[in-house]
Amino acid sequence: MMKPLPGAPPEVRIARREAKAMLAAGGWRPDPELSKVIGLECFQSDRGQAMILMPGKRSGANLCEDRAALLRYSLAERARPPEHMLEGLFPCGESFPAEISKLIDQLAVDTGIARSDLDGTEESLLRVERAFSRRGGRRAFLTPERFPEVVAYTGEVLRQYIGGGTWKMELAYGQWEPWIVGADGSRYPVFILAHDGLEQRRVGAILGMLQGELVGEFLVRSSARRDNSN
């Protein structure tokens, strides 16, 4: 996720009931320009304020005292070039597959798990996830130093689970992405599984992401087979 630009005008969250009351009292009108830029329902007041209604009936609204500054900031945010989710997090390049063994060796050190116990099984991945809490927490492994280790091991567990497969590096937006490609051509975004799994706070999230990806791929293939048979 891209870090927000500095200099955002301050916004205050207010309850939805309060926002509705302010709109009903008058002095506010729909703001199609700001709505188009932000992508949410916006209003502007005669005093130059901006109100952004947040989605959901109970989520309230954001109130900004300087509508013009908010518009300038929002336009600048939209004009930014796309940034890869791995930007600054995955410094490895095209040679990453050749470094897998060394990275897993380091994962054993960083988690305190014996290298021989990192045998590529689902149970061992769960053991790795349990170790995160003892080694600074899950987010401590969302760093350029440690994240590649988690990607490497997640991919090796996935490869063992599917009975083979190869690592493939692909370049996107100037960033190398590590993928697993199965013998049948199925593609697995192992970097997303590791990243999103680490962002969740529960133990077993990475394993759950991996299993969910495999189930989803199985359902897609099953559906394709059914379509081809009709």
Instruction: Quick: pLDDT tens for 85-117.
Output: 898 999 999 999 999 999 999 999 999 999 999
* Distance from chain centroid for Cα 171: 18
pLDDT of residue 219: 37
pLDDT band at 3 (very low <50, low <70, confident <90, very high): low
Across the chain, mean pLDDT equals: 89
pLDDT at 224: 40
Q: How many domains does the chain have?
A: 2
Q: Are residues 128 and 222 in the same domain?
A: yes
**Whether residue 180 is found in the same domain as residue 67:** no
Give the pairing type, strands 187-188 and 61-64. Answer: unpaired
Q: Is the pLDDT of residue 218 over 60?
A: no
Q: Does 86 fall in a domain?
A: no
pLDDT score, position 138? 92
Neighbours of 206 (CB within 10 A): 26
Distance CA 124, CA 76 (A): 45
pLDDT greater than 60 at residue 75: yes
Q: Which of 79, 105, 135 is the last residue of a domain?
A: 79
pLDDT over 60 at 223, yes or no = no
How do residues 133-191 score in pLDDT, each as one tens digit? 899 999 999 999 999 999 999 999 999 999 999 999 999 888 999 999 999 888 999 99
Output the pLDDT for position 11: 94
75, 115: one domain: no
Are 203 and 138 contained in the same domain?
Answer: yes
Provide mean pLDDT across the span 3-27: 90
Using a pLDDT cut of 90, give the percent of the chain over it. Answer: 72
Q: What is the pLDDT of residue 182?
A: 92
Sign of CA dihedral 90, 81, 173, 151: positive
Residue 118 and residue 223 in one domain: yes
Instruction: Looking at the structure, tell me whether residues 63 and 172 fall in a common domain.
Output: no
CB 3 within 8 A of CB 52: no
Please report whether residue 131 resides in a domain. Answer: yes
Contact predicate 139/178, CB 8 Å: no
Q: What domain range includes position 64? A: 11-79
Distance of alpha carbon 182 from alpha carbon 120, whole angstroms: 16
Same domain, 126 and 100: yes
Does 147 fall in a domain? yes
CA atoms within 13 Å, Cβ hemisphere of 67: 19
Domain membership of residue 5 (yes or no) is no
Tell me, yes or no, whether 35 and 145 share the same domain: no
* 133 and 70 housed in the same domain: no
Clarify whether residues 48 and 115 are in a common domain: no
Domain shared by 65 and 169, yes or no: no
Same domain, 116 and 174: yes
